[in-house]
Amino acid sequence: MNIVILTGAGISAESGVPTFRASDGLWCGHRVEDVATPQGYAADPALVQDFYNQRRRQLAEVQPNAAHYALADLAARWEGNFMLVTQNVDDLHDRAHETSPPAPGFELIHMHGELLKARCSRSGLVSDWPGDMAADEPSLDHPHGRMRPHIVWFGEMPLHMDRIETALAACDLFVSIGTSGAVYPAAGFVQAARHAGARTVEINLEPTQGADLFDEGVYGPATETVPSFFN
């Protein structure tokens, strides 16, 4: 049986990572349009680097929660293909999977990039964010040119879309966890899964604007709903 799970900011909320909507579209006091766009970065690279440095520093203070670990346990015992696609740029899924190694058919995809990675603006080379970088340094000099956060901004193509679309076309079960369905193309994945004949389930704090697109809805805090749904 093939499963595709999509997660959003709601799965990390109980770990203490602020969600996009709860902050009225503001992250760390910044308007998203000013910082999560290529235009915002071009206009003020230091502001954008600082915005992501703040969120990068926050990561050191948070831990995966029971929902992340429930998915890691599921991945360890899953027989078949299991794609976990996250819109989140935190590393909480990655850390949760360190403790229970996933089965061979598992893949974790960060479709909107990762806070702990940097990308060369010229060559596209992706590397780990250098931990020693001073928070106020606007950008990293690199032989290829300016390093930017390895984050997919609004107006930029999400990562690994070909692999995601292939998995959706072949999935038997699609579960969306902790996402408002406000951002495309992730918000359209449920339609692709339905088209493939998959059973579709929305797990969220409350029904989202796209709730009617799902066969089933499970509502409540992710640390309760996710472990109980998969155990």
Catalytic residues, which ones?
112
Which residue in 42, 124, 184, 197 binds ligand BV8 (CB under 6 A)?
Answer: 184
Rounded to 10 degrees, what is the CA torsion of 99, 10, 168, 181?
-170
**With respect to ligand BV8, which residue has the nearer C-beta, 171 or 203?**
203
Binding residues for ligand BV8, rule CB under 6 A, total: 34
- Please confirm whether the linkage preceding 149 is cis (ω < 30° from 0): no
**With respect to ligand BV8, which residue has the nearer C-beta, 56 or 112?**
112
Structure tokens at 25: 């579209």
Calpha distance 7→70 (Å, rounded):
13
Which residue in 93, 110, 112, 119 binds ligand BV8 (CB under 6 A)?
Answer: 112
Structure tokens at 215: 């066969």
User: Is position 66 an interface residue for ligand BV8 (rule: CB under 6 A)?
Assistant: no
User: Is position 33 an interface residue for ligand BV8 (rule: CB under 6 A)?
Assistant: no
User: Is position 156 an interface residue for ligand BV8 (rule: CB under 6 A)?
Assistant: yes
Annotation-wise, does 179 bind a ligand?
Answer: yes
User: Is position 53 an interface residue for ligand BV8 (rule: CB under 6 A)?
Assistant: no
Which residue in 9, 71, 84, 168 binds ligand BV8 (CB under 6 A)?
Answer: 9
Cβ–Cβ < 8 Å for 147, 120? yes
- CB-based contacts of 109, cutoff 8 Å, min separation 6: 83, 84, 85, 86, 159, 160, 163, 164
Annotation-wise, does 148 bind a ligand?
Answer: no
User: Is position 152 an interface residue for ligand BV8 (rule: CB under 6 A)?
Assistant: yes
Calpha distance 143→147 (Å, rounded):
10
**With respect to ligand BV8, which residue has the nearer C-beta, 8 or 102?**
8
Q: Which stretch binds ligand BV8 (CB under 6 A): 15-23, 56-64, 121-129, 191-199?
A: 15-23
Task: Tell me the binding residues for substrate.
Answer: 52, 55
Contact residues toward ligand BV8 (CB under 6 A) are: 8-10, 13-14, 19-21, 36, 87-89, 112, 151-158, 178-180, 182-185, 204-206, 208, 221-222
